[in-house]
Structure 1
Amino acid sequence: MDCTCHYDSPLGGITLASDGERLVGLWFDGQKYFPETLGEWPREEMLPVFEETTRWLDIYFSGKEPDFTPPLAMRTTPFRQAVWEVMLTIPFGETMTYAEIGREVARPRGLERMSAQAVGGAVGHNAISLIIPCHRVVGTNGSLTGYAGGIEKKVRLLELERADLSNLFVPKRGTAL
């Protein structure tokens, strides 16, 4: 059975979920797709993985790059897992485009690229936000679209990491806001 705990971040409440040993979810309270990867309603309990994740979050929200990753369990399809694994390689304070992720996922499959919409869906349904840094994914044109936690949080997270935002912008309209 899954367990959860709560973390109060500078950007709002965060719910953590675990299978008892590994982190299976990390969502800003109220974000889209929360908590689609959990089974029956989990019990709240402090576990060692939550203590480790809380330490990771404390370091992260202090503006520093954590030098470890809590143990993760990606409950998703093989395609989404491939996308999430590419996102894990995006360095702190940097960004990667949906197209770049698509090329990385396509390469081992012998393809030139993957559908941007498919990549976008996988990024948007990331169940372990922040640690799998979907907030670092941007449009090819520099658009800061699509963050399940809200576009304002995406901007704040990139600012926290001191990312270069000079060529990035928040779109005025669109479905991914």
Structure 2
Amino acid sequence: MTQSVPPQPADGNPYAQQPVDGNPYAQQQADGGNPFAQQPGAVPPAPVVAAPARNNIALGIIAAVVAALVTAGIYGGIVGATEYEIGYAAIGVGFLIGFAAGKLGGSNPVLPVVSAVLSLGAVYLGQLIGIAVILGDELDVSATSLFTEHLDVLTKGWSETADPMTFLFLAIGAFAAFSGAKKAAA
């Protein structure tokens, strides 16, 4: 069996561009041999731009709610492990909630207020979780069962043990959330 060898170009390079004559698949390369160059007279395609995630109030509120739930659990774990309310942790709770809302929600004036309210709830929830962890260790009961089955006892215990520092931590968390939302939106 004999194989036919395609004709070699004059310069001896077998990979050189084949002639266009008679080849329906060859492209006319008017731009210096670049087959991907824009053809003359062609309209460039419109760029595909994804919608920005910023300035979406609903997404900002959802992010703030998720951040509030996560940070409440972390704050509750810290309170339960140390058996102390820590002001820096309340600041962190508030700031993270506000930052999440402002970063995704943008500069809508509702978001700092919503963040502050969610921060109040998150710090309060974190304190309840902390009380459940502490009581669970003392009573040799699961903190989860205390929290789900005896929430009334936990809230009564919180209200009886709440002092001015407790309310200061709530206020600090709310202030941090408000300012965090403002800073993240800027």
TM-score, structure 1 length as denominator? 0.25
* Larger helix fraction of residues: 2
Q: TM-score, normalised by structure 2?
A: 0.24
Going by fraction, where is strand more abundant, 1 or 2? 1
